[in-house]
């Protein structure tokens, strides 16, 4: 996780399209330092949870597929979470490792009750097959065994996920430097922690090591709050819904500066109030705040990582 923080900070120091605005950070901290907004993990009521290993399997599959909804203007995260939940309610073996290796695009559409091909559908199927194959090969077919192998360490679990599952290796190169972001691997940890309320499969002795999860919504919220400032050229691209290439300088800066800005917010909250706030908590608040702003412009990138 220190690689994520350090590489994000380096991008922020070199960034030419996105600026982390210190005065914006100070204003946000002043507004929330005395009463950090608390958001329940399942405040939408859309997730499957039974307190057992099947919940871990559900969350891992959910986070394997949790990316790139925007090319279909009607599709969103809720459809994915609810679709997988309905599948398990109907058939508890729907997400078994052997089943995951054999799903087709039309079958995934049917599972999610979606009437047309999903964005990056071939990639989603490829990742389903990868999850099933690697779970069966290395973890007795169970995501719960993967979690148990972490020894209650959030950082170790991220390491295990990215080591065993190539589809979770969310890193890139920026100006000759390796940049680590690991959105979906980290959000798997956060989902476990939130769903199990820090106990059982959700108990991590180092949950504070997790950063926020750099996606579409959080950068847009930080821009709205004055924490991030875009150059006029980047602002024009984002506001006009033009596609930004995955791995481009603009895209890497948007995501890395988001991580760095929230780390600075977290640090300043501690300085101002003495409160230790988790990046996970800040991310959940920013994300839930963002989805309420229906007209919020966000950057658009075709990517399997978010």
Give the residue ranges of DSSP H helices in the chain. Answer: 2-14, 22-32, 53-64, 77-90, 97-100, 105-112, 121-138, 143-148, 154-164, 183-195, 217-224, 232-239, 249-273, 279-291
Separation CA 164–CA 132 (nearest Å)? 12
Q: Residue 71 has what pLDDT?
A: 94
For range 263-282, the mean pLDDT:
95
Q: Are strands 177-180 and 171-174 parallel, antiparallel or unpaired?
A: antiparallel
Per-residue pLDDT for 151 more than 80?
Answer: yes
Q: Are strands 171-174 and 18-20 parallel, antiparallel or unpaired?
A: unpaired
Question: By the 8 A CB rule, do 92 and 99 touch?
Answer: no
Q: Where are the domains of the chain?
A: 2-291
Q: Residue 34 has what pLDDT?
A: 85
Separation CA 243–CA 299 (nearest Å)? 7
Catalytic residues: 215
Sign of CA dihedral 90, 92, 96, 98: negative
Report helix, strand or coil for 18.
strand
155-181 per-position pLDDT tens digit: 999 999 999 999 999 999 999 999 999
Question: By the 8 A CB rule, do 217 and 298 touch?
Answer: yes
233-252 per-position pLDDT tens digit: 999 999 999 999 999 999 99
Cβ-proximal residues to 197 (8 Å cutoff; 6+ apart), any chain: none
CA 254 from centroid of its chain's CA atoms: 14
Separation CA 16–CA 19 (nearest Å)? 7
Q: Residue 44 has what pLDDT?
A: 85
| DSSP labels, 194-213 | HHTTTSGGG--TTGGG----
283-301 per-position pLDDT tens digit: 999 999 998 888 899 999 9
36-56 per-position pLDDT tens digit: 878 889 988 999 999 999 999
107-118 per-position pLDDT tens digit: 999 999 999 999
Question: Is residue 79 very low, low, confident or very high in pLDDT (cuts 50, 70, 90)?
Answer: very high
Q: Residue 229 has what pLDDT?
A: 98
Question: By the 8 A CB rule, do 277 and 38 touch?
Answer: no
Rounded to two decimals, the pTM is 0.96
Identify the CA nearest to 2 among candidates 270, 259, 199, 221: 259
Q: How many other CB atoms are found less than 10 A from the CB of residue 281?
A: 18
Q: Residue 294 has what pLDDT?
A: 82
Mean residue pLDDT of the chain comes to: 96
Per-residue pLDDT for 16 more than 90?
Answer: yes
- What would the two tokens of residue 277 be? 């706030």
Cβ-proximal residues to 3 (8 Å cutoff; 6+ apart), any chain: 180
């Amino acid at each position: 996780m220190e690689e994520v923080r350090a590489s994000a900070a380096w991008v922020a120091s070199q960034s030419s399209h996105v600026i982390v605005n210190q005065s914006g950070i100070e204003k946000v901290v002043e507004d929330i330092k005395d009463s950090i907004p608390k958001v329940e993990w399942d405040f939408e009521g859309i997730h499957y949870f039974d307190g057992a290993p099947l919940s871990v399997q559900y969350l891992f599959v959910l986070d394997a597929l949790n990316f790139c909804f925007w090319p279909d203007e009607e599709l969103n995260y809720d459809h994915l979470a609810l679709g997988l939940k309905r599948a398990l309610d109907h058939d508890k073996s729907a997400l078994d490792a052997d089943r995951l290796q054999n799903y087709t695009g039309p079958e995934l559409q049917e599972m999610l009750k979606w009437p047309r091909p999903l964005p990056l559908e071939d990639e989603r199927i490829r990742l389903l097959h990868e999850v099933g194959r690697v779970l069966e090969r290395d973890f007795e077919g169970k995501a719960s065994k993967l979690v148990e192998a972490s020894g209650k360490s959030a950082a170790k679990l991220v390491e295990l996920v990215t080591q065993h599952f190539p589809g979770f290796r969310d890193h890139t190169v920026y100006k000759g430097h390796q940049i680590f972001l690991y959105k979906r691997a980290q959000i798997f940890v956060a989902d476990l922690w939130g769903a199990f309320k820090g106990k059982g499969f959700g108990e991590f002795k180092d949950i504070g090591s997790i950063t926020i999860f750099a996606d579409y919504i959080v950068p847009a919220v930080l821009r709205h709050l004055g924490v991030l400032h875009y150059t006029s050229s980047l602002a024009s691209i984002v506001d006009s819904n033009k596609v930004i290439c995955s791995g481009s300088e603009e895209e890497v800066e948007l995501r890395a500066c988001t991580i760095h800005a929230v780390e600075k917010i977290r640090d300043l909250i501690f300085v101002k109030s003495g409160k230790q706030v988790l990046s996970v908590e800040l991310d959940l608040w920013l994300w839930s705040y963002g989805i309420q702003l229906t007209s919020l412009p966000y950057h658009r990138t075709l990517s399997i990582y978010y």
